[in-house]
Amino acid sequence: MTIAGRIEENLYKYLKAITHTGTALERNSEAFFREWFDSLPYLREHPELCGFYPLAKDRLNRHIPWALLKGQGSQTVILLHHTDTVDVEDFGKYGDLAYQPLEVEKLFSEGAVELSPEARADLESGQWLFGRGASDMKGGGCIHLSLFEEYCQQEDFVGNILLIGVPDEENLSAGMRSAVYLLKELREQHQLSYKLLLNVEPHDRLEERNITVYDGSVGKMMPVFLVRGKLAHVGQIYKGLNPVNLLSAIVRKTELNPDFIEKSGNTVTPPPAWLYFKDRKETYDVSLPLMAGGYLSVLSLEKSPKEIFEQLKMLSLEAFEEVLAGMKKSYEVYRNLTGRDLEHLDWKPEVKYYGELYRQLAEERGEVFQEEMTAFQQQLEEQIQAGSLDRIEGAYRLMENALTYDRDSSPLVVIALAPPYYPSTNNAMLEQAGDIDRLLEKLAAYGLDETGCGIYVQNYFTGISDLSYAMFTADEENIRYIQENMMFWGDLYHIPLDIMKEQSMPVLNLGPWGKDLHKSTERVYKKDLFENIPKLVDFMLEQVLRP
């Protein structure tokens, strides 16, 4: 069977395994992989070289399917893809057909669903394969599976290929975070040396003959703010401080702030964007709210978590000072009109990281505080695991509970981190950067000769990916910043940063051209799926394993 035939056959089977992210349906991938493992003579002869690695304390009991082709030597390439997809709500009443490319094509051809002009042109060209997961990312996953099948047939194979499918990528990347432990165990058990991790996320491109390869992945942080104001009746507003006013000032200081924009190589990050903002009142009354909370998304390339936190703290202090100055200016007008001297507004700006607040309260309150906070956190974690509470609301409740132990009730801004956290990764951070640069030069020459396509290297994949957990180069101080300030760090959410740092490896993303990811018109370019990308991945495997 040709490689294109293998990919098509595997893909049609894989798509039928419905694996909606964050649901029990994700386990359907395990049945698919069990059947696939059984279909390979090599793995039937070596059952110890494949399996299902459990995600730790996972409420859905999900597993990571893996298979190892064990050849001569320690040189190893990891082939990675994620097994989950988004749901099919956007297909409406045709959701059951979403996993069958031929049925989707027929549905669209008959005009049952309105298509954009671009999607209609692609459908009529016959050059695109439609269906949920076809592009993101079971199509790419089947490129890896099919190449693995072919290599399993070779005798005296030089090197090793480790194939991994991870769940939960579309959600919190629990699969890849657990895969870090699996990689460590397999590395030690089989004396493997990880030379390259190849991911296969789809890419977008403006020209048909220009394939994009990514040699890194953007980082993402989600800082969470809780602002404590000062309670007062709205008729005595100068006796209080409205946390909505203060949080609004912080938003104005940070939203779209160009000082956060980074450029590294040919990649530029967008500035921060706030995703949520609300007071913490549960019912209406005529008092100022006591607290308000919000969170924002910050994308990074080279800035460390410590640098971003310090930048947010500085801007929050500036916002605090401006709010107090504005209140005093307003009060002067009010006092001149009333002739009454009511208040002095002598609060001082105070901004603390959650880790700082926790240490302060632990010193002041002792073991009782730590024990009661631990018990309260466990209650919240149980509710989150049961699905009755989301992580963000849980984070606010945990921070609010900590503040109940604070003897000082003055206005305060608390900054924490909420899951997920994605470290930025780029091969330039590693000693092997030169080796990867030379590999990409060879790939560009080969690609042009064999596929007629140019190879464009983008320094960072900006769509957020599991590549973030394949390397970690930050220092111990930054690790401490993450651990101390990440809400629910430990059992509920954990990143094995120390292991990632120890086994940091070069990464590349090379996947097929895809369009309209997460939409009903999701599709993958057939020539990439069946020809171009398999050739390029095969070339890189040969280059890395048999230099």
Helical packing angle, 138-152 and 533-545, nearest 10°: 50
* Arithmetic mean of pLDDT, 149-156: 95
SS3 content of the chain, % helix, strand, coil (to 5): 45, 20, 30
pLDDT at 481 over 70: yes
> Tell me, what's the pLDDT at 547?
66
* Arithmetic mean of pLDDT, 523-530: 98
pLDDT at 345 over 80: no
> Tell me, what's the pLDDT at 163?
99
Q: Locate tokens 């059947």: which residue?
A: 35
pLDDT at 447 over 70: yes
Q: Alpha carbon of 251 to those of 145, 297, 310: distances in Å?
A: 46, 12, 16
- Closest alpha carbon to 298 in 266, 275, 279, 315: 275
421 residue type, one letter: Y
Q: Are domains 3-218+422-470+505-545 and 223-417 of this chain identical in fold?
A: no
Helix H or strand E encompassing 378: helix 367-386
Residue 146: HSE in the Cβ half-sphere, 13 Å Cα cutoff: 28
- Closest alpha carbon to 68 in 39, 35, 42: 42
Q: Are 170 and 85 in contact (CB under 8 A)?
A: yes
Q: Locate tokens 């801007």: which residue?
A: 315
Considering the chain, what percentage of its residues have pLDDT values greater than 90?
A: 90
Q: What is the Cα–Cα distance from 445 to 443, expressed in whole angstroms?
A: 5
> Tell me, what's the pLDDT at 342?
66
Q: Alpha carbon of 336 to those of 240, 339, 524, 526: distances in Å?
A: 19, 5, 69, 75
Helix H or strand E encompassing 302: none
Average model confidence (pLDDT) across the chain: 96
DSSP 55: P
Q: Locate tokens 């930025």: which residue?
A: 424
- Closest alpha carbon to 128 in 528, 524, 517, 530: 524
> Tell me, what's the pLDDT at 491?
86
pLDDT at 401 over 90: yes
pLDDT at 343 over 80: no
SS3 501: helix
Q: Locate tokens 């269906």: which residue?
A: 131
> Tell me, what's the pLDDT at 423?
97
Q: Which residues contact 149 (CB under 8 A, 6 or more apart)?
A: 6, 40
pLDDT higher at 343 or 29: 29
Q: Which residues of 377-395 are buried (b: 16+ CB within 10 A; e: fewer)?
A: beebbeebeeeebebbebb
Q: Are 519 and 122 in contact (CB under 8 A)?
A: no
- Closest alpha carbon to 493 in 270, 263, 171: 171
* Arithmetic mean of pLDDT, 287-314: 96
Q: Per-residue confidence at 344, pLDDT binned at 50, 70, 90?
A: low
Domain boundaries 3-218+422-470+505-545, CATH class: alpha beta
> Tell me, what's the pLDDT at 86?
97
Considering the chain, what percentage of its residues have pLDDT values greater than 70?
A: 99
- Closest alpha carbon to 196 in 64, 92, 76, 72: 76
The ranges assigned to domains in the chain are 3-218+422-470+505-545, 223-417
- Closest alpha carbon to 224 in 297, 273, 291, 173: 297
Residues paired with residue 291 on neighbouring β-strands, in sequence order: 228
Rg (CA), the chain: 26
Q: What does the pLDDT look like over 204-221, one tens digit per residue? A: 998 889 999 999 999 999
* Arithmetic mean of pLDDT, 57-83: 97
pTM over 0.85: yes
* Arithmetic mean of pLDDT, 339-353: 85
> Tell me, what's the pLDDT at 286?
86
Q: Are 411 and 347 in contact (CB under 8 A)?
A: yes
Which CATH fold topology does 223-417 show?
Alpha-Beta Plaits (3.30.70)
pLDDT at 33 over 90: yes
> Tell me, what's the pLDDT at 236?
84
Q: Per-residue confidence at 431, pLDDT binned at 50, 70, 90?
A: very high
Q: What is the Cα–Cα distance from 454 to 20, expressed in whole angstroms?
A: 35
